[in-house]
Chain A
Amino acid sequence: MTTSQGILILAGLAAGPLLGGLIAGLDRILTARFQSRIGPPLFQPFYDVIKLFGKEKVVVNVWQAFCANAYLTAASISVVLFFLGSDLLLILFIQAVGAVFLVVGAFSSTSPYSQAGAHRELLQMLCYEPLLIFVAVGIYLLTGSFKIESVHAMDQPLLLKLPFMFVVLSFALTIKLRKSPFDLSTSHHAHQELVKGLLTDYSGRYLALTEIAHWYETVLVLGLCSLFWATNPVGAILLVGITYFLEIWIDNVSARLNWRWMLGYGWAMGMSLSLVNLVWLYAR
């Protein structure tokens, strides 16, 4: 392992808690402004997590502790691998490991809220995972490799060749980040019919762990977005910024859809757009 790799690993490990937390803070401020509120300070997510760590340990089932830890581990490894420029499919698979553990942890409580949330999260995974794989395949067809380093070697932004794949990715992003209309399994809008679902019985430090893991995941999916304009850091930041701003906007203006709609829309739209874009690349 070289020094630069060591730096990248550390950067990846730090990116989740720092960058992810800041993004969460920004998200909350923007959401508040959309709802004509002032909103919390930028660092509120950090205060929340620190406070959660200080709480008494309460569990429904000790395996929740295992699952929360495994979720965080998998999420952080996927971000580190992303920073190292590793294989896209591998990163997606490891990201899925974390997601599965979060679900298993929710299953380990018999609360109907947790159970329903866990099932819905599985359906969300069912919807976004193929879409993410399609995006990876699109990148492969364009660059000839699944390795992220090959994206950085391109001299033209991917967005120009893969515009539809970017739409598919943002669709998957909405589901992955559990933004309305796809905040089925757990939500931060108090008016939903199932609010905390999946996370109902995680509490204290274990809830804090899932929160940090979610920050890592946010960094990962936004990182995937940034690949579409990897030629220029300003372009990448702009693209990610605009995409995330739109996500928050959609989150605040749309009502929750049920899972049938999600699967129907997700697969139909995701697949047809991917197909068009992929055929386009095949035909080249």
Chain B
Amino acid sequence: MKELTCILILLPFLAALCCFLAISSRIRSFIVLATGCILIASSLLLISYVPFAFSPQTTFGVGVHGLIQVPDFILMFAILYFGFKHRSLLVIIPAALQIVLVTWFEVFMIQGHPATQAFYCDNLSLIMVLIISIIGSIICFQALPYMKNHEEHLHLSTTRQPRFFFVMLFFLGVMNGLVLSNDTTVIHFFFEATTLCSFLLIGHDGTETAIRNSVRALWINSLGCLAFVVALMMIYQSLGSIDMQQIIRTPPGAGLSFLPLALLCVASFTKSAQFPMQSWLVGAMVAPTPVSALLHSSTMVKIGVYLVLRLAPAMQGSFLSQCIAIFGAFTFLAAAGLAVGQSNGKKVLAYSTISNLGLIFACAGLNTPESITAAILLIIFHAITKALLFLCVGTIEQHIESRDIEDMRGLYARMPLTALITVMGVVMMIMPPFGLLLGKWMAMEAAAGNIFVIILAAIGSALTAMYWARWAGTLMSDPFAGKFTLEKQSAVTWAALLSLCAGAGILSISVPWLYAGLFTPSMTLNYVPPYTLNEGILENSYGVFAVLPLCLIAVLGFLQSIWAVRGATKARICSPYLSGIQTAEPRVFVGPMNQLVKAEAGNYYLSNIFGEKKLTIWINLAAGVLLTLIVGGAL
């Protein structure tokens, strides 16, 4: 397993470097494909070794902690450099402060090599490694044809793909390092590295908006890193440890105050783009779509939820934990509301990510075995489904040159398979028996004991159904082509889309086994497995979810409905009802006084209720108050 850990963390770095140096795009594609395949294989092989912990023997008696010192400072100075380059005080100040604090921490507080396990992998880490390695790799694969089209479209004289794939692969390595590390200073290093990676990726296209949004991402996340460092120092002050496992095994309230934990949560919220720090993620959509897919599904935003879930045992039963639950539920509702008001497909996806992460935070905050199970399920299925949807939108965008939902009206006529896969993605977002809904169901039942959380979650859930259903309906709208002619896409794109779609479906069916195999063992720390498993039915004392029977019925219902579609292809196709005499032209009818009238229909976006301009300021304010409550309440 040491070798596997090594491959999972170091191979992406090496491959990234090769990508950067490779001149030929063939070689680059080969490197990306090979690295992705090896990562997927190693992450799957890792399953049989979990749980494990080890500290590698390194040369010259320097442990991992010592080894990352130099890169850590290089990293912080790099961020400082970018701050000066873009003349942003907001970046410079936190970066400089952080350099001072880390130096102080390393030189005057830790002094030498503290005894910690460098790497620790339990089921939570394993699930994260699988998500990062498998979904991250699939996104990188799809980026190959995407970036080729992207650069052709931009008419670039020299390709910028070496830099792009360098950062993409580097990101995967950093993420694997983050979730496998146990030494909090090492986690901090990787935490910081993801900030830099996302900055480079968001600004990749080099346009004015791209630069502006990337700098915004940099300063917001730098503030998060700063909170992280301060929290580490406080923890070291009271516990004398930088060992994550030791920190979370400290019983709540014994020796460790809640303030550093609250700060770590705030750092997580910035990474996961919770209100009021959401603007960096919403702005990140200027980047090429594979970047959005990577940030939203398997990397960046998942760090926050991972960390809070990791810290959950240390907060059990505390006021802090309750506050996080309410904060998360509020974000779930508020972001869903903002998504309703958007017609830009990528923005809908962005707000839906923030919303779903809010629900995961709410689950982590509720901190019961049921809610933790729900959170892990939501992480897994959100990663797959969101990656799928982003890749779909990217593909659609390159085809129709728009990301507006209104322009996707009747997409089925132009790109039937992509439209169908997108609708499938939407269905997996909101409908049983798919995993995401199962997670939401568990979350709601776990939240029923908390009146604020359940009220926020119930309304948020209804809003969520609304914006997804609207989108799916728009995609399937006529003009109906009549014949199914497959659109042209590269094989890699089809493979990526279909594998994610099939993966989400198959995983949803196998949730009972997933639960028994992956979740139950991870519940050892203060949590008992909450559900009993009987013939594919998950049940506890107050709820029952018949996963397997429902999947079976869903498959039968789906086949029967498809059969009905087959029957309908023989039916007479008529034009929609328009309250007048139809003409040969679509959507034009003969109205009063023999005048031709063109019928138009657009979606409701209710922007005077759910518009960004109307809502954002109030949501940020409310979220700010809740954050103050979280930090202040922990004092």
* Chain A interfacial positions (CB closer than 8 Å to B): 56-70, 73-74, 77, 86-87, 89-90, 93-94, 96-97, 100, 103-104, 106-116, 118-119, 122-123, 125-127, 129-130, 133-134, 137, 140-141, 144-147, 150, 200-201, 206, 267, 271, 274-275, 278-279, 282
Contact between A119 and B604, CB atoms less than 8 A apart = yes
For window 461-506 of B, CB contacts with A under 8 Å fall at: 461-463, 465-466, 469-470, 472-474, 476-480
The answer, among A73, A104, A126, for a CB contact under 8 Å with B473, is: A104
Residues of B within 8 A of A68 (CB): 564
Q: Closest B-chain residue to A64, C-beta based?
A: B568
Offer 29 A-B interface pairs, CB within 8 angstroms, sorted by A.
A60-B573, A60-B574, A61-B573, A65-B568, A70-B557, A70-B561, A86-B544, A89-B444, A90-B543, A93-B432, A93-B437, A96-B465, A100-B469, A107-B472, A107-B473, A110-B477, A110-B478, A116-B601, A122-B604, A125-B465, A127-B462, A130-B459, A134-B455, A137-B454, A137-B458, A140-B542, A146-B445, A274-B455, A275-B455
Report the Cα distance A180→B573, complex, angstroms: 33
For residue A122, which residue of chain B has the nearest CB?
B466
Segment at the A interface, from B15-23, B130-138, B575-583, B622-630: B575-583
Tell me how far the C-beta of A265 lies from the nearest C-beta in chain B, rounded to whole angstroms: 15
Chain A residues within an 8 Å CB radius of B561 = 65-67, 69-70, 73
Q: Are A112 and B600 in contact (CB under 8 A)?
A: yes
Q: Are B478 and A60 in contact (CB under 8 A)?
A: yes
Q: Is the CB of B34 closer than 8 A to any CB of chain A?
A: no
Assess the B574–A59 pair: CB atoms within 8 A. yes
Q: Is the CB–CB distance between B448 and A140 below 8 Å?
A: yes
Contact present for B458 and A111 (CB under 8 Å): no
- Residues in B with CB closer than 8 Å to A57 are 567-568, 570-572
Check B546 against A86 for contact (C-beta < 8 Å): yes
Asked, given contacts A62-B480, A93-B432, A140-B448, whether A147 binds B465 with beta carbons under 8 Å apart, the answer is no
Q: How far is the CB of B570 from chain A (nearest CB, A)?
A: 7
A65 and B476 CA atoms in complex are apart in Å by: 12
Indicate if the CB atoms of A129 and B461 lie closer than 8 Å: yes
Contacts of A90 in B (CB 8 A): 432, 441, 543-546
> Cβ of A93: which chain B residues have Cβ within 8 Å of it?
431-432, 437, 441
Q: Does the CB pair A66–B472 fall under 8 Å? A: no
Given A59-B571, A107-B474, A122-B470, A89 contacting B576 (CB threshold 8 A): no
Residues of B within 8 A of A122 (CB): 466, 469-470, 604
Contact B476 A104 (CB under 8 A): yes
Closest Cβ–Cβ distance, residue A51 to chain B (whole Å): 18
Whether B577 and A111, one on each chain, are in contact in the complex, defined by CB atoms closer than 8 angstroms, is: yes
Residue of A nearest to B573 (CB): A59
Contact B458 A133 (CB under 8 A): yes
Question: Which residue of B is nearest A68, CB measured?
Answer: B564
Q: Is the CB of A89 within 8 A of B574?
A: no
Residues B431 and A97 in contact, CB atoms below 8 Å apart = yes
Least Cβ–Cβ distance between A73 and chain B, in angstroms? 4
Asked if B603 is at the interface of the complex by the 8 Å CB criterion, the answer is yes
Closest residue of chain B to A112 (Cβ to Cβ) is: B601
The interface of chain B, by Cβ under 8 A from chain A, is 409-410, 412, 430-432, 437, 441, 444-445, 448, 451, 454-455, 458-459, 461-463, 465-466, 469-470, 472-474, 476-480, 541-546, 550, 553, 557-558, 560-562, 564-565, 567-579, 586-587, 599-601, 603-604
Q: State whether A69 touches B441 (Cβ < 8 A).
A: no
For B459, the chain A residues whose CB sits under 8 A away are 130, 267
CA of A271 to CA of B393 in the docked complex: distance in angstroms? 37
Which residues from A are CB-within-8-Å of B437? Answer: 93
The reply to whether A89 and B455 contact each other, CB–CB distance below 8 Å, is no
CB < 8 Å: which of A65, A94, A275 contacts B565? Answer: A65
Which of the listed residues A56, A73, A267, A278 has the most CB atoms from chain B within 10 Å of its own CB? A73
Residues in B with CB closer than 8 Å to A109 are 477-478, 576-577
Residues in B neighbouring A126, C-beta threshold 8 A = 462-463, 465-466
Inter-chain pairs besides A61-B480, A123-B466, 10 sampled, C-beta below 8 Å: A58-B573, A60-B574, A64-B568, A89-B543, A104-B472, A106-B473, A110-B599, A126-B463, A137-B458, A267-B459
For residue B91, give the distance in angstroms from its CB to the closest CB of chain A.
Answer: 41
Query: Contact at A107–B477, with CB atoms within 8 Å?
Result: yes
In the bound assembly, the distance between CA atoms of A246 and B575 in angstroms comes to 40
Q: A206 vs B600: C-alpha distance in the bound complex, in angstroms? A: 25
**Residues of chain B within 8 A of A73, CB atoms compared:** 553, 557, 560-561
Q: How far is the CA of A200 from the CA of B477 in the complex (A)?
A: 14
Determine which residue in A116, A126, A206 has the highest number of CB atoms from chain B within 10 A of its CB, and name it: A126
Chain B's closest residue to A73 (CB) is B557
Q: Which of B572, B587, B601 has the most CB of A within 10 A?
A: B601
How far is A65 from B432 in the complex, measured between Cα atoms in Å? Answer: 21
The answer to whether A130 and B462 have CB atoms under 8 Å apart is yes
CA A16 to CA B257, docked complex, whole Å: 58
**A69 and B564: CB pair below 8 A?**
yes
Q: Contact check, B564 vs A63: say whether CB atoms are below 8 A apart.
A: no
Q: Is the CB of A271 within 8 A of B477?
A: no
Closest residue of B by beta carbon distance from A133: B458
A227 CB to closest chain B CB, in angstroms? 16
Residues of B within 8 A of A60 (CB): 478, 480, 573-576
A123 to B573, CA, bound (A): 29
Q: How far is the CA of A279 from the CA of B451 in the complex (A)?
A: 8
B476 and A107 form a contact (CB under 8 A): yes
Assembly CA distance A65 to B550 (angstroms): 22
In the complex, the answer to whether A62 meets B571 with C-beta atoms within 8 Å is yes
Nearest Cβ in chain A — how far from B417, in angstroms? 14
Q: How far is the CB of B591 from chain A (nearest CB, A)?
A: 13
Least CB separation from B579: chain A residue: A113
Cβ contact of A100, chosen from B445, B465, B574, cutoff 8 A:
B465
Closest residue of chain B to A281, judged by CB? B451
Evaluate whether A77 and B476 lie within 8 angstroms (CB atoms) in the complex, with A58-B574, A65-B565 already known: no
Once A65-B564, A103-B473, A125-B462 are accepted as A-B contacts, the answer to whether A87 and B545 lie under 8 Å apart by CB is: yes
Measured CB to CB, the nearest residue on chain A to B561 is: A69
Residues of chain B with a CB closer than 8 A to A107's CB? 470, 472-474, 476-477
CB < 8 Å neighbour of A111 from B454, B461, B599: B599
CB contacts (< 8 Å) of A150 on chain B: these are: 542
Query: B553: which A residues are within 8 A, CB to CB?
Result: 73, 77
- Closest chain B residue, CB of each to CB of A114: B576
Contact B463 A62 (CB under 8 A): no
Q: Which residues of B contact A86 (CB under 8 A)?
A: 544, 546
Pairwise interchain contact B462-A111, C-beta atoms closer than 8 A: no
Closest to B456 in A: A130
Question: How far, in angstroms, from A68 to B568 measured CA to CA in the complex?
Answer: 11
Question: For the complex, what is the distance from the CA of A235 to the CA of B461, rounded to whole Å?
Answer: 34
Once the chains are docked, how many angstroms separate the CA of A241 from the CA of B479?
A: 45
Cα–Cα, bound, A117→B68 (Å): 60
Does the CB pair B542–A118 fall under 8 Å? no
Q: Which A-B residue pairs are the 9 nearest by beta carbons?
A: A107-B473, A57-B571, A111-B576, A65-B568, A73-B557, A115-B601, A69-B561, A133-B458, A145-B542
Pair A87/B567 contact, Cβ less than 8 Å = no
